[in-house]
Chains A and B, each alone.
Chain A
Amino acid sequence: MLNLNIYKVKVHKKGLIVLPARLRKKYKVKEGSEIVLLDDNGQIILIPRYRIVDLYGIAREHAETIDEMIKEIEEERKNEAST
């Protein structure tokens, strides 16, 4: 099942909406931040635009798996190179 938190917001003049404070905090969205909107067949997806430094450690809980992923990609490249 999808793990979704649902927020209901009203649309104001000229289509303005207010992002709930909890989401602004969670996704580090401040005044002046850029957000990408995806028109995805009946739903609008909002993706905050980050800088590389903001991604540092966002997947810390998967550290061991990421090490495995790096190793596997390297091995796969090596195998492909030698065939």
Chain B
Amino acid sequence: MKLVLDTGVIMLILKGDKKIKTLIKDISYGTEAYTTTINLTELYYKTEQKLGKETAVTWLNRIIHLKDLAIVPVDTELAIKAGKLKAKYRNKISLADAIVAALAEKTKAKLATTDKALNNIEEIEVLTYS
């Protein structure tokens, strides 16, 4: 199984939220986990806004060097896939939603998210944690 982790889910991991215990277990037992560079952007700016630069840098350094999380940059293929989703769902999804969903579609992964807007996308299977 493969999982794409959205920003909110990575935050729930740091928080130690009980809702995602099973997801963590699945990853420890070999489920492949992915996220995108856009999710790192969200994670960084929101952490710096709320908790300062030092915390943001520390968290990001730990996340980007994780052994079992693949961080996927937005290349042209992903960009176009995301563009197609954004065109189809227009004002129902944001650019970040479109990009993370495009990665789930491309890798045939389930998308783990806290963002209910992603339930609108019929091309992918969404696991919502809210």
B61 interfacial by beta-carbon distance below 8 Å: yes
B residues contacting A by CB (< 8 A) are 7-8, 11-16, 24, 27-28, 33, 42, 46-47, 50-51, 59, 61-63, 65-69, 91-97, 114-117
Say yes or no: B68 contacts A74, CB within 8 Å: no
A-B contacts at CB below 8 angstroms, number: 100
Chain B contact surface mostly:
helix
Say yes or no: A63 contacts B15, CB within 8 Å: yes
Q: Which residues of A contact B62 (CB under 8 A)?
A: 47, 50, 55, 58
User: A51 touches which one: B11, B12, B67 (CB < 8 A)?
Assistant: B67
Q: Which of A51, A62, A69 has the most CB of B within 10 A?
A: A69
CB distance from B7 to the nearest CB of A (A): 6
Give the complex CA separation of A66 and B50 in angstroms.
Answer: 9
CB distance from A7 to the nearest CB of B (A): 18
A59 interfacial by beta-carbon distance below 8 Å: yes
Q: Which residue of chain B has its CB nearest to the CB of A3?
A: B54
Given contacts A50-B67, A51-B67, A69-B46, contact A57 B117 (CB under 8 A): no
Say yes or no: A82 contacts B66, CB within 8 Å: no
Given contacts A69-B11, A81-B117, contact A49 B67 (CB under 8 A): yes
Give the complex CA separation of A81 and B7 in angstroms.
Answer: 17
